[in-house]
Each structure stands twice: as C-alpha cells, then as structure tokens.
Chain A
Amino acid sequence: MSAAAIPAALVTAAAETHEEQSVLIPAGYDLFWSAVVTAVILAVFLKYVMPRFTRVLDERTEKIQGGIERAERVQAEAAAAKGELDRELAAARTEAGRLREEARAEGTAIVAEARQHAQEEAARIVETAHRQVEAERRAAAVSLRADVGALATQLAEKIVGEALTDEGLRSRVVDRFLDDLDASTEPAVPAETKGY
C-alpha cells in the first residue's frame, strides 16, 4: 500500500484510450455527490451528534466532579466533627481528673479535721473526768474525817466507859488518836497541822 501505485496508475489511465477520466481530476458529478454526502454527514454531526455527546460527556464530568467535591466536603466535615469530639473528650478527662483530685484532697481534710476534733473531745472528757474524780475524792476525805472522829469517840466511850469521864484525859486521848489516824492515812501531812 503505497504512493508508488499512483504514477503507475496514471500511466495505465493514460494508456486506456477509451477512458478520458483521470483518477486525480474530479468529474463534476463526482464532486457534486461528494459534496452532498459530506454536507449531510457534517450537518448531522455538527448539529446533532456532537452537541449531544458533548453535553452528555460534560454532564458526566460535572456529575463526577460534583460527586468528588461532595465526598471531600463530607469527609472534611467528619474530620472536623471528630476533632471536636476528641477535644471535648480530652477536656472531659481533664475535668474528671481535677474533680477526683479535689475530692481526694477534700476527703483528706475532712478526715484530718474529724480526727483532731475527736482528739480534742477525748482530751476534754478525760480532763473533766479527772476533775470530777478529784472533787469526789476531796468530798469523801472531808466527810470521812468528820465521821471517823465521831465513830471513834463512840467506840472509845463504849470500850473505856467511865474511865474516860475525866474531861482532860478524854481530850488528850482523842487528840492522840486523831494524830495517829492522820499519821496513818496521810503520812505526807507535816507535823505542824497536828494542832487540830
């Protein structure tokens, strides 16, 4: 298949005397019908086929483009939402940690305060008890002192009887007894208080 066919073909055309038509010079009717078929094809292609296909292709491109853009937008939104969530979650965690720490500190303070309170209360109770015991002991000692004198005198009167009717003797005996009693119950009391 080559252009080499042309010169030979021309020679042949020239050789054929009955054929006046050249392969390279168009006949009028050839041009006429060529123009007709070409015009029809061009008209249909340029007025109908190509615009239609172009429109469909553009529409498709637009649709795909739109779809891609929409997908990108949705993805961006999702990413933003996720970021927001993450931030909120982190904030919540921090908040929770802070609250826990506060509660723990507060708890410790409450416990410490309660303990101190209890200690104070205990000390106070012990103090009161001591004081009460002391007071009672003093009261007991005073009452005992009075009673023991009377009782001892009665006892001595019964034992000694009439022997002790002598006022001077009785007084001396009682004093001596009480001195002995004092000496035996309160050995720490000094001797000057014996005048009683």
Chain B
Amino acid sequence: MPTGVACADARPPTPDPRSCDLSSTATAALTLAAEEGEGFHAPTLADFFPGPIFGDGTLVEFNRIMLVRVIAAVLLVAVMAFAASRARLVPGRGQNVVEVLLDFVRVNVAEEILGRKEAARFVPLLTAIFFAILAFNITGVIPGLNIAGTSVIGLPIVFAVIMYVVYLRAGIQRQGLGGFLRTNLFPAGVPAPMYVLLTPIEFLTVFVLRPATLAIRLVANMIAGHLMLVLCFAATNYFILEAAPALKAFGAVTFVAGLAITLFEVFIAALQAYIFVVLSAVYINLSIETEH
C-alpha cells in the first residue's frame, strides 16, 4: 500500500488547521514506518465502495454502506412511527423532543421561506427529507456503522431528484409551463439584450446546477468528514500500536483531534440536513413566485 503518499493525497489542504498538522505529522511518521515495514491504513475512496455482501454486479448488489442505509432507514421509520402512534394532545417528554424537530422544519424552514399559506403543502415532504438526511448523515459517527449513508452519491441524487421534480412541478402548476419558463429564464426588469447572457445562465441554474449542487454539497461533506475521521483514528491506531516509542505521544494528539472532529461531524450532519431542506424550500419559493 503506498501509504504515505496516499495519505497526503487523500488529505488535501483543508481549512482545519488541526488536519494540516496531522497530515504533515503523519507523512513524517510514515516515512519511519515504511522503514520498519509496518502498515498504516490511510483512508481512500475505496472505503466508499466496499465489497458486496450479495448480488455482486447486479442491480441489487448489497454492500456494507447499503446495509448502513437500511439500518438507518429502519430505525428512523421505527422511531418516528412509534412516536406518531403515541402522539397525544398533551405531549409527553419523548413527543416533545420529536415535536421540537418537526416544528423546526415547519416553522424555521418551511413557513419562514414559503410563508404560512404556501408552506402547508410542502411541510410533510421537507420534514421527511430533513429527517432522512439527518439519519443517514449521523450514521457517519455512530460506532459500528461508521459511515454516512449519504456519503455515496446515489442517495443524495435521489433526494435532489425528488426536490428537482417537486420544485419544477410546483412552478409549472402555479404559472403554467410558459409562465414558469418566462419568469425563470427571462427575469423581469432586465434590458432585452442582456437575455443573451442571462437566459443560458438561468437555464443552467434552474435545470442543472440547483439539483447538482444539492447532491454534490451533501455527498462531498460526508466524504470529507469520513476521510478526516478515518485519518485521525487510523493515525492514532498507528502511532500508539506501531510507531517508534518517541512518536507514541502523537497518538494522543490525533485521538483528541479525532474526538473533536467527531463532534464537528455531528454538527455537520445536522447542518447539511438543514441546508438541504432550506435550499429546497428556497428553490420551491423561487418557482412559485411570479415576480422576482
């Protein structure tokens, strides 16, 4: 395994100073490690394409990440169905927690962006997508699962396609196909010659960039988070178990960094779920607004 190099490649410059330190430290350490003939498992993109459990090469090929997704989905559905089945007029403690999250999506996302009247139609879908993304993101830091269900592009694409269909459909329903294209591709209040520039840009934005960025933003965050976590804990493992005695202390540094990044990933998991539904709501709003 081309360990040192792979590690350096896998860790591009990041805004997190801790990670930069870790990268250089790890590279230095690995040079030593190579001489001792010991291995350091650097995170690679192969982590996101593990070997199949069954159905190799077919449409139903099932690997570890698919298993994580199924577990997350089953747990989410079970918990929410349980909470819903016991939903009472006077909420208990558990119901309060669920209602806070439901209210968050309804009030802070849907109603704030779409307005109370328009929001009602889209709240169930936005809520479902929010909870689904949150559940699939959070598996990245759950011990035993250790990878986000959204860290492989398929799932973000499915979510993005759903939102794509929803916001196009909402716009066309509201304004008709012609009206929707006119308001979106030919924004009002612009001198006619500018449409030569604006219309292709708007076309790209509405039909390609919005769904693409929704999916890519989510998957990229999850991939990067997983790589950072694996790097930290793999380095910790290597430093403490295999590195020269003088380097063992670095293990503590990488371990603490790993813990910090774990907490950061929890935050990112929630943040990305929030961003996804907020942007979806904004796109819906842009579609149903007749005047920009």
A residues whose Cβ falls under 8 Å from a Cβ of B: 1-9, 11-13, 15-16, 19, 21, 23-35, 37-38, 40-42, 44-46, 48-54, 56-57, 59-60, 63
Q: Which of B72-94 contact A (CB under 8 A)?
A: 72-73, 76-77, 80-81, 83-85, 87-89
Q: Taking chain B's interface residues, is the majority helix, strand, or loop, or is none over half, making it mixed?
A: helix
A31 vs B225: C-alpha distance when bound (angstroms): 22
A56 vs B85: C-alpha distance when bound (angstroms): 11
Q: Taking chain A's interface residues, is the majority helix, strand, or loop, or is none over half, making it mixed?
A: helix
- Residues in B neighbouring A15, C-beta threshold 8 A: 9
A11 vs B5: C-alpha distance when bound (angstroms): 13
| Cβ-defined contact, A23 with B87, below 8 A | no
A78 vs B268: C-alpha distance when bound (angstroms): 56
Total interface residues on B, using CB and 8 Å?
Answer: 66
A45 vs B124: C-alpha distance when bound (angstroms): 7
A158 vs B145: C-alpha distance when bound (angstroms): 177
| Cβ-defined contact, B154 with A27, below 8 A | yes
Say yes or no: is B3 at the interface (Cβ < 8 Å to chain A).
no
| Cβ-defined contact, A32 with B60, below 8 A | yes
- Residues in B neighbouring A40, C-beta threshold 8 A: 73, 77
Say yes or no: is B186 at the interface (Cβ < 8 Å to chain A).
no
- Residues in A neighbouring B55, C-beta threshold 8 A: 29
Instruction: Tell whether A31 pairs with B227 under 8 Å between CB atoms, given A5-B12, A45-B124, A50-B124.
Output: no
Say yes or no: is B279 at the interface (Cβ < 8 Å to chain A).
no
A25 vs B45: C-alpha distance when bound (angstroms): 13
Stretch of B199-207, B212-220, B235-243, B283-291 contacting A (4+ beta carbons < 8 Å): B212-220
Given A1-B268, A19-B49: 18 more A-B contacts, CB < 8 Å: A1-B264, A5-B227, A6-B216, A9-B10, A9-B45, A12-B45, A16-B45, A19-B46, A21-B49, A24-B216, A29-B58, A29-B60, A41-B76, A41-B77, A45-B131, A52-B85, A52-B87, A53-B98
